[in-house]
Amino acid sequence: MTMLRSLAAVALAATTLSLSVARADEALRIGAPLPITGALAPEGAKLKQGYELWQDKVNAAGGIKAGGKTFKVELVYYDYQSTTPKAVQLAEKLISDDKVDFLFSPFGSGAAKAVSAVAEKYGVPLLASSASSAEVFDQGYKNLFGLYTDNSTLSEPIADLIKAKLPTVKRVAILARNDLYPLSLGNEFEKSAKKRGFEVVYFEKYPIGTLDHSSALTQLRAAKPDWVVVTGYINDLILVRKQAGELKVGGQIYTLINGPAYQEWIDAVGPLAENVTTASWFHPVLNYKSEDVFGSTRAFVDQFKAKYGSEPDFTQASGAAVGVILQQAVERAGSKDRAAVREQLVKGGFKTFFAPVSFGPTGIANSYVPPVYQIQQGKVQVVYPADIATGEFRAAPAN
């Protein structure tokens, strides 16, 4: 009897192991460190919505079909509390302990750059949903793939518009968050301005977590700029725009990135949003036909609204977009083998609801032009490129 029990136990263990392996074979596990709490919590919540809309859509259709197998998508989240060192630790945990097949990056260029070193160490392809700074992609890594085009694709068209439409603009002031992406973006605006003959009369950095910008804005006001550029994230830019209004910081045009593309930014600053320009990589007005599970931008927007009750902004769309790109790469590869999937990511040519996406030699997207937006009467209008514009670029004195 003892021997029979032992044999039965061995058989049960073997069956359990077999079932476990079978389940693992049927799952595509993706690790996603997210800033669920801390200063970047709004952006983290938005990325999570995008990831989960894609996951729900794929799994409702039965999963990802590749090489005769069907993989259900499993997303494994951890909160890195908006601190980059913790994002790095959790990426290690996701790969080593949770055995994820692939990674989605944390939010922003700084954290994405740090975590990309972990992905490269373990040979895990990482799709960066929200990194656009060239400094992220200059490391020679072969496992890093960024959805966004580089920061100059935001600064260049805005500088062109202002040069063409506002000939009296001469003096530019730049206030940049001292963080990899916002500072890189500030530097690109400085280059774009100087290239067109504008005088940069002020360029300062503000620390992460700044809760009072009045001193910097007072100095900025004294420089008497015609064009004010501020970089940062949504909470930074709500505060900056409100305090600039209180301090009567003038100028013919304000450019704030990233913030005004969010409806909550517009709601938070009220009339101070009027004529503010911004740029980002996605807007619901776009209407690409795609080869992904959504089929088009319009269908993605409709399904997002049905699930969450509002139109998606570019961060929410970015979360779903890295999902559809990974899905197409797995389907093309015919497996979830990392090397095979990496090879397909390098080939590019992904027709997605977000944009047509291919990656350049460094891994950053180079296949589409991000639109420029302006807030007009409380609504986001596309003012560039002309073929998708919903309004004309305009200016009025800031207050």
Q: Which two tokens stand for residue 6?
A: 């032992």
Q: What pLDDT digit, counting tens, does each position of 8-54 carry?
A: 333 333 333 333 333 445 899 999 999 999 989 999 999 999 999 99
How far does the chain reach from its first CA to its final CA, in angstroms?
88
Number of neighbours of residue 145 by Cβ within 10 angstroms: 27
Q: What pLDDT digit, counting tens, does each position of 84-104 carry?
A: 999 999 999 999 999 999 999
The third-level CATH classification (topology) of the domain covering 152-280+371-388 is Rossmann fold (3.40.50)
Q: With 70 as the cut, is the pLDDT of residue 119 above it? A: yes
Structural contact between residues 307 and 53, judged by C-beta atoms closer than 8 angstroms? yes
pLDDT for res 339: 98
pTM of the model: 0.81
Average pLDDT over every residue of 52-70: 96
Q: With 80 as the cut, is the pLDDT of residue 319 above it? A: yes
pLDDT for res 281: 92
Which residue ranges make up each domain of the chain? 2-149+285-357, 152-280+371-388
% residues pLDDT > 90 (the chain): 83
Q: With 90 as the cut, is the pLDDT of residue 140 above it? A: yes
Q: What pLDDT digit, counting tens, does each position of 190-224 carry?
A: 999 999 999 999 999 999 999 999 999 999 999 99
pLDDT for res 388: 82
User: What is the CA angle 366-266-129, rounded to 5?
Assistant: 30
pLDDT for res 398: 54
Structural contact between residues 75 and 51, judged by C-beta atoms closer than 8 angstroms? yes
The answer to whether the 2-149+285-357 and 152-280+371-388 domains have the same CATH topology is yes
**Least confident interval from 136-150, 157-171, 280-294:** 280-294
pLDDT for res 321: 98
| CATH of range 2-149+285-357; options 3.40.50.150, 2.40.50.140, 3.40.50.2300, 2.30.40.10 | 3.40.50.2300
Preceding peptide of 385 cis, ω within 30°: yes
Q: With 60 as the cut, is the pLDDT of residue 315 above it? A: yes
Q: What pLDDT digit, counting tens, does each position of 248-305 carry?
A: 999 999 999 988 988 889 999 999 999 999 998 998 888 899 999 999 999 999 999 9
Q: With 80 as the cut, is the pLDDT of residue 57 above it? A: yes
Band (pLDDT 50/70/90 cuts) for residue 397 is low
The full 3-state SS of the chain, as one line of letters, equals CHHHHHHHHHHHHHHHHHHHHHHHHCEEEEEEEECCCCCCHHHHHHHHHHHHHHHHHHHHCCCEEECCEEEEEEEEEEECCCCHHHHHHHHHHHHHCCCCCEEECCCCHHHHHHHHHHHHHHCCCEEECCCCCHHHCCCCCCCEEECCCCCHHHHHHHHHHHHHHCCCCCEEEEEEECCHHHHHHHHHHHHHHHHCCCEEEEEEEECCCCCCCHHHHHHHHHCCCCEEEEECCHHHHHHHHHHHHHCCCCCCEEEEECCCCCHHHHHHHHHHHCCCEEECCCCCCCCCECCCCCCEHHHHHHHHHHHHCCCCCHHHHHHHHHHHHHHHHHHHHCCCCHHHHHHHHHHCCEECCCCEECECCCCEECCCCCCEEEEECCEEEEEECHHHCCCCCCCCCCC
What does the mean pLDDT of the chain come to?
Answer: 91
Average pLDDT over every residue of 391-399: 74
Spatial CB neighbours of 228, under 8 Å, sequence gap ≥ 6: 172, 173, 175, 220, 244, 249, 251, 253, 254, 255, 398
Band (pLDDT 50/70/90 cuts) for residue 149 is very high
pLDDT for res 399: 55
% residues pLDDT > 70 (the chain): 93
